[in-house]
Structure 1
Amino acid sequence: MKSIIIHELEAFYLRHPELKGIPVSLNQIKDAEEILHTKFDRDYTFFLTHFGGSYAGYAIHGFLNAPNIGNETVIELTQQARNLSQLQNLFPELDECIVFSDDGAGNPIAIDSGGGIWIFDFDTTKKNKIADSLGKLIEENIPNW
Protein backbone atom coordinates (compact mmCIF):
# COMPACT_ATOMS: atom_id res chain seq x y z
CA MET A 1 0.00 0.00 0.00
CA LYS A 2 1.37 3.42 -0.93
CA SER A 3 2.69 5.50 1.96
CA ILE A 4 0.57 8.48 0.86
CA ILE A 5 -2.57 6.35 1.23
CA ILE A 6 -1.45 5.21 4.67
CA HIS A 7 -0.98 8.85 5.72
CA GLU A 8 -4.39 9.78 4.29
CA LEU A 9 -5.99 6.92 6.24
CA GLU A 10 -4.24 7.96 9.45
CA ALA A 11 -5.46 11.55 9.02
CA PHE A 12 -8.96 10.33 8.14
CA TYR A 13 -9.15 8.20 11.32
CA LEU A 14 -7.92 11.11 13.45
CA ARG A 15 -10.91 13.09 12.16
CA HIS A 16 -13.28 10.10 12.36
CA PRO A 17 -12.11 7.70 15.10
CA GLU A 18 -15.55 6.07 15.13
CA LEU A 19 -14.77 4.61 11.69
CA LYS A 20 -11.57 2.90 12.83
CA GLY A 21 -11.51 -0.60 14.25
CA ILE A 22 -8.99 -2.20 16.56
CA PRO A 23 -5.76 -3.45 14.97
CA VAL A 24 -5.07 -7.17 15.23
CA SER A 25 -1.94 -9.26 15.58
CA LEU A 26 -0.27 -11.34 12.90
CA ASN A 27 -1.13 -14.40 15.02
CA GLN A 28 -4.85 -13.62 14.69
CA ILE A 29 -4.40 -13.34 10.93
CA LYS A 30 -2.47 -16.63 10.77
CA ASP A 31 -5.23 -18.35 12.74
CA ALA A 32 -7.84 -17.04 10.29
CA GLU A 33 -5.71 -18.14 7.32
CA GLU A 34 -5.67 -21.66 8.75
CA ILE A 35 -9.43 -21.67 9.28
CA LEU A 36 -10.11 -20.38 5.76
CA HIS A 37 -7.27 -22.32 4.08
CA THR A 38 -6.29 -19.13 2.25
CA LYS A 39 -3.38 -16.74 2.69
CA PHE A 40 -4.32 -13.11 3.34
CA ASP A 41 -3.17 -10.51 0.84
CA ARG A 42 -0.27 -8.25 1.88
CA ASP A 43 -2.31 -5.01 1.66
CA TYR A 44 -5.17 -6.56 3.63
CA THR A 45 -2.80 -7.88 6.30
CA PHE A 46 -1.22 -4.43 6.60
CA PHE A 47 -4.64 -2.78 6.85
CA LEU A 48 -5.84 -5.14 9.59
CA THR A 49 -2.66 -4.87 11.66
CA HIS A 50 -2.76 -1.06 11.52
CA PHE A 51 -6.44 -0.12 11.36
CA GLY A 52 -8.50 -3.22 12.18
CA GLY A 53 -11.91 -3.58 10.57
CA SER A 54 -12.52 -0.01 9.42
CA TYR A 55 -14.29 2.16 6.89
CA ALA A 56 -12.10 3.34 4.00
CA GLY A 57 -14.55 4.12 1.21
CA TYR A 58 -15.86 0.59 1.75
CA ALA A 59 -16.51 -1.23 5.00
CA ILE A 60 -13.39 -3.38 5.33
CA HIS A 61 -14.23 -6.09 7.84
CA GLY A 62 -11.59 -7.80 9.91
CA PHE A 63 -12.00 -9.12 13.44
CA LEU A 64 -12.51 -6.10 15.69
CA ASN A 65 -14.51 -3.78 13.49
CA ALA A 66 -15.48 -0.16 13.92
CA PRO A 67 -18.95 -0.10 15.52
CA ASN A 68 -20.80 1.27 12.50
CA ILE A 69 -19.56 -1.26 9.95
CA GLY A 70 -20.98 -4.30 11.74
CA ASN A 71 -19.70 -7.18 13.81
CA GLU A 72 -19.26 -9.74 11.04
CA THR A 73 -15.69 -10.99 10.89
CA VAL A 74 -13.76 -11.77 7.75
CA ILE A 75 -14.06 -15.44 8.71
CA GLU A 76 -17.87 -15.24 8.90
CA LEU A 77 -18.20 -13.25 5.66
CA THR A 78 -15.90 -15.62 3.79
CA GLN A 79 -17.61 -18.76 5.08
CA GLN A 80 -21.08 -17.37 4.31
CA ALA A 81 -20.07 -16.47 0.74
CA ARG A 82 -18.44 -19.87 0.20
CA ASN A 83 -21.53 -21.66 1.50
CA LEU A 84 -23.82 -19.63 -0.76
CA SER A 85 -21.46 -20.27 -3.66
CA GLN A 86 -21.67 -24.02 -3.12
CA LEU A 87 -25.44 -23.95 -2.61
CA GLN A 88 -26.04 -22.04 -5.84
CA ASN A 89 -23.22 -23.76 -7.72
CA LEU A 90 -21.69 -20.38 -8.62
CA PHE A 91 -18.27 -18.79 -8.27
CA PRO A 92 -16.11 -21.74 -7.16
CA GLU A 93 -13.20 -19.28 -7.10
CA LEU A 94 -14.60 -17.90 -3.83
CA ASP A 95 -12.95 -20.91 -2.17
CA GLU A 96 -9.62 -19.21 -2.87
CA CYS A 97 -10.73 -15.67 -1.91
CA ILE A 98 -11.08 -13.67 1.28
CA VAL A 99 -14.42 -11.85 1.60
CA PHE A 100 -13.99 -8.56 3.47
CA SER A 101 -17.13 -6.60 2.52
CA ASP A 102 -20.33 -6.54 0.49
CA ASP A 103 -21.88 -4.20 -2.04
CA GLY A 104 -24.86 -3.19 0.10
CA ALA A 105 -27.11 -5.72 -1.64
CA GLY A 106 -25.46 -8.70 0.06
CA ASN A 107 -23.08 -9.58 -2.76
CA PRO A 108 -19.58 -10.35 -1.46
CA ILE A 109 -16.55 -8.21 -2.20
CA ALA A 110 -13.42 -10.33 -2.05
CA ILE A 111 -9.67 -10.36 -2.54
CA ASP A 112 -8.38 -13.08 -4.85
CA SER A 113 -5.04 -14.87 -4.45
CA GLY A 114 -3.37 -12.31 -6.71
CA GLY A 115 -4.66 -9.35 -4.70
CA GLY A 116 -7.42 -8.35 -7.15
CA ILE A 117 -10.71 -7.05 -5.73
CA TRP A 118 -13.96 -8.55 -7.07
CA ILE A 119 -17.69 -8.19 -6.53
CA PHE A 120 -19.53 -11.49 -6.96
CA ASP A 121 -23.14 -10.73 -7.91
CA PHE A 122 -25.35 -13.70 -7.07
CA ASP A 123 -28.39 -12.07 -8.69
CA THR A 124 -26.84 -11.59 -12.13
CA THR A 125 -24.38 -14.52 -11.73
CA LYS A 126 -21.57 -12.21 -12.88
CA LYS A 127 -18.38 -11.10 -11.22
CA ASN A 128 -16.73 -7.74 -11.72
CA LYS A 129 -13.16 -6.76 -10.94
CA ILE A 130 -13.29 -3.36 -9.25
CA ALA A 131 -9.60 -2.84 -8.38
CA ASP A 132 -6.21 -4.41 -8.87
CA SER A 133 -5.47 -4.28 -5.14
CA LEU A 134 -6.93 -3.25 -1.81
CA GLY A 135 -4.58 -0.28 -1.76
CA LYS A 136 -5.89 0.85 -5.14
CA LEU A 137 -9.51 0.35 -4.02
CA ILE A 138 -8.89 2.53 -0.98
CA GLU A 139 -6.99 5.12 -3.01
CA GLU A 140 -9.92 5.44 -5.43
CA ASN A 141 -12.62 5.54 -2.74
CA ILE A 142 -11.31 7.10 0.47
CA PRO A 143 -13.64 9.92 1.49
CA ASN A 144 -12.45 13.52 1.75
CA TRP A 145 -14.47 14.24 4.88
Structure 2
Amino acid sequence: MKKELIERLGLFLRKHDMIDTPATEEQILYAEQEQGVKFSPDYIDFIRNFGKAYAGMMINAVAGAENVIDDTKSLRKVHPEVTDTYMISDDGSGNPIMINAKGELVVYYHDSDAETEIIASSLEQYIEDNLPEW
Protein backbone atom coordinates (compact mmCIF):
# COMPACT_ATOMS: atom_id res chain seq x y z
CA MET A 1 0.00 0.00 0.00
CA LYS A 2 1.10 3.54 -0.58
CA LYS A 3 2.88 5.07 2.40
CA GLU A 4 0.51 8.05 2.31
CA LEU A 5 -2.53 5.78 2.61
CA ILE A 6 -0.99 3.82 5.50
CA GLU A 7 -0.26 7.09 7.32
CA ARG A 8 -3.76 8.46 6.67
CA LEU A 9 -5.38 5.21 7.77
CA GLY A 10 -3.14 5.09 10.84
CA LEU A 11 -4.21 8.60 11.87
CA PHE A 12 -7.88 7.66 11.44
CA LEU A 13 -7.54 4.41 13.39
CA ARG A 14 -5.54 5.99 16.24
CA LYS A 15 -8.03 8.86 16.48
CA HIS A 16 -10.84 6.34 16.96
CA ASP A 17 -8.74 3.90 19.05
CA MET A 18 -9.29 1.08 16.55
CA ILE A 19 -5.81 -0.41 16.11
CA ASP A 20 -5.16 -3.99 17.16
CA THR A 21 -1.84 -5.75 17.61
CA PRO A 22 0.11 -5.79 14.32
CA ALA A 23 0.85 -9.19 12.80
CA THR A 24 4.36 -10.59 12.95
CA GLU A 25 6.22 -12.11 10.01
CA GLU A 26 5.94 -15.52 11.68
CA GLN A 27 2.16 -15.19 12.05
CA ILE A 28 1.81 -14.12 8.42
CA LEU A 29 3.88 -17.03 7.11
CA TYR A 30 2.03 -19.51 9.32
CA ALA A 31 -1.37 -18.23 8.15
CA GLU A 32 -0.35 -18.44 4.49
CA GLN A 33 0.91 -22.01 4.95
CA GLU A 34 -2.21 -23.06 6.86
CA GLN A 35 -4.42 -21.89 4.01
CA GLY A 36 -2.19 -22.72 1.07
CA VAL A 37 -2.31 -19.15 -0.23
CA LYS A 38 0.00 -16.18 -0.68
CA PHE A 39 -1.42 -13.04 0.89
CA SER A 40 -1.61 -9.96 -1.29
CA PRO A 41 1.00 -7.29 -0.54
CA ASP A 42 -1.82 -4.86 0.41
CA TYR A 43 -3.24 -7.27 2.98
CA ILE A 44 0.23 -7.94 4.42
CA ASP A 45 0.90 -4.19 4.72
CA PHE A 46 -2.46 -3.73 6.42
CA ILE A 47 -2.12 -6.45 9.04
CA ARG A 48 1.57 -5.72 9.57
CA ASN A 49 0.66 -2.13 10.48
CA PHE A 50 -2.76 -2.43 12.11
CA GLY A 51 -3.65 -6.05 12.90
CA LYS A 52 -7.43 -6.44 12.90
CA ALA A 53 -8.89 -3.02 12.19
CA TYR A 54 -11.67 -1.10 10.51
CA ALA A 55 -11.18 0.31 7.02
CA GLY A 56 -14.65 0.60 5.50
CA MET A 57 -15.28 -2.88 6.92
CA MET A 58 -13.71 -4.82 9.76
CA ILE A 59 -10.64 -6.53 8.30
CA ASN A 60 -9.55 -9.62 10.18
CA ALA A 61 -5.91 -10.40 10.81
CA VAL A 62 -4.04 -13.57 11.73
CA ALA A 63 -4.49 -13.82 15.51
CA GLY A 64 -7.28 -13.62 18.06
CA ALA A 65 -10.98 -14.23 17.58
CA GLU A 66 -12.40 -13.90 14.07
CA ASN A 67 -9.09 -14.43 12.36
CA VAL A 68 -8.39 -15.08 8.71
CA ILE A 69 -7.28 -18.67 9.33
CA ASP A 70 -10.39 -19.81 11.22
CA ASP A 71 -12.77 -17.84 9.01
CA THR A 72 -11.28 -19.27 5.81
CA LYS A 73 -11.29 -22.83 7.18
CA SER A 74 -14.95 -22.49 8.22
CA LEU A 75 -15.90 -21.10 4.82
CA ARG A 76 -14.08 -23.87 2.93
CA LYS A 77 -15.69 -26.53 5.13
CA VAL A 78 -19.17 -25.39 4.11
CA HIS A 79 -18.21 -24.28 0.58
CA PRO A 80 -15.32 -26.48 -0.60
CA GLU A 81 -15.52 -24.87 -4.03
CA VAL A 82 -13.96 -21.73 -2.53
CA THR A 83 -10.25 -22.15 -3.20
CA ASP A 84 -7.27 -19.87 -3.84
CA THR A 85 -8.89 -17.18 -1.69
CA TYR A 86 -8.86 -16.18 1.96
CA MET A 87 -11.67 -14.60 3.94
CA ILE A 88 -10.87 -11.23 5.50
CA SER A 89 -14.36 -10.01 6.44
CA ASP A 90 -18.07 -10.30 5.70
CA ASP A 91 -20.60 -7.88 4.32
CA GLY A 92 -22.79 -7.77 7.44
CA SER A 93 -25.29 -10.19 5.90
CA GLY A 94 -23.11 -13.25 6.32
CA ASN A 95 -21.59 -13.11 2.85
CA PRO A 96 -17.83 -13.64 3.05
CA ILE A 97 -15.48 -11.04 1.64
CA MET A 98 -12.32 -12.64 0.33
CA ILE A 99 -9.13 -11.75 -1.48
CA ASN A 100 -8.42 -13.89 -4.54
CA ALA A 101 -5.10 -14.85 -6.12
CA LYS A 102 -5.16 -11.64 -8.21
CA GLY A 103 -5.49 -9.51 -5.06
CA GLU A 104 -9.10 -8.54 -5.85
CA LEU A 105 -11.73 -8.21 -3.12
CA VAL A 106 -14.58 -10.58 -3.86
CA VAL A 107 -17.89 -10.99 -2.07
CA TYR A 108 -19.25 -14.54 -2.11
CA TYR A 109 -23.06 -14.64 -2.06
CA HIS A 110 -23.45 -17.98 -0.31
CA ASP A 111 -27.25 -18.08 -0.70
CA SER A 112 -27.17 -17.33 -4.44
CA ASP A 113 -25.69 -20.47 -5.98
CA ALA A 114 -22.15 -19.37 -5.18
CA GLU A 115 -22.41 -16.12 -7.10
CA THR A 116 -19.43 -13.82 -6.64
CA GLU A 117 -18.82 -10.14 -7.28
CA ILE A 118 -15.56 -8.22 -7.41
CA ILE A 119 -16.03 -5.21 -5.15
CA ALA A 120 -12.55 -3.70 -5.56
CA SER A 121 -9.46 -4.33 -7.63
CA SER A 122 -7.35 -4.45 -4.44
CA LEU A 123 -7.55 -3.90 -0.70
CA GLU A 124 -5.74 -0.62 -1.20
CA GLN A 125 -8.37 0.54 -3.69
CA TYR A 126 -11.18 -0.52 -1.36
CA ILE A 127 -9.65 1.44 1.52
CA GLU A 128 -9.06 4.53 -0.66
CA ASP A 129 -12.70 4.39 -1.79
CA ASN A 130 -14.12 3.90 1.72
CA LEU A 131 -11.84 5.69 4.18
CA PRO A 132 -13.79 8.65 5.55
CA GLU A 133 -12.47 12.11 4.78
CA TRP A 134 -11.89 14.25 7.87
- TM class by shorter-chain length? over 0.9
- Superposed displacement of residue 4, structure 1: 2.3
Alignment-derived partner of residue 25 in structure 1 = 24
Percentage identity across paired residues of the two chains:
35
TM-score (norm 1): 0.86
Asked if the contact 2:42–2:122 (Cα under 8 Å) also holds between the matched residues in 1, the reply is yes
Aligned to 2:35: 36
Structure 1 ranges of 4+ moved more than 3 A: none
Question: How many angstroms does 1:38 deviate by?
Answer: 0.8
Provide the C-alpha distance between the structure 1 equivalents of 2:99 and 2:37, rounded to a whole number of angstroms.
11
Shift of 1:80: 1.1
Q: TM-score, normalised by structure 2?
A: 0.93
Instruction: State the aligned residue count.
Output: 133
Any gaps of 5 or more consecutive residues in structure 1? Answer: 66-70, 87-91
Going from structure 1 to structure 2, the CA distance change for 1:64 and 1:12 (only over 3 Å counts) comes to farther
Would you say the 8 A contact 2:13–2:54 is kept in 1?
Answer: no
More helix by share: 1
Q: Which residue of 1 aligns with 2:6?
A: 6
1:3 Cα deviation from its structure 2 partner:
2.3
What is the identity, as a one-letter code, of the residue corresponding to 2:8?
E
Q: Deviations over 1:71-96 (max 9, x none)?
A: 2110011111111212xxxxx2x211
**Alpha-carbon deviations, 1:43-100, whole Å to 9, x = none?**
10111111001011110001346xxxxx2110011111111212xxxxx2x2110100
TM superposition shift of 1:143: 2.5
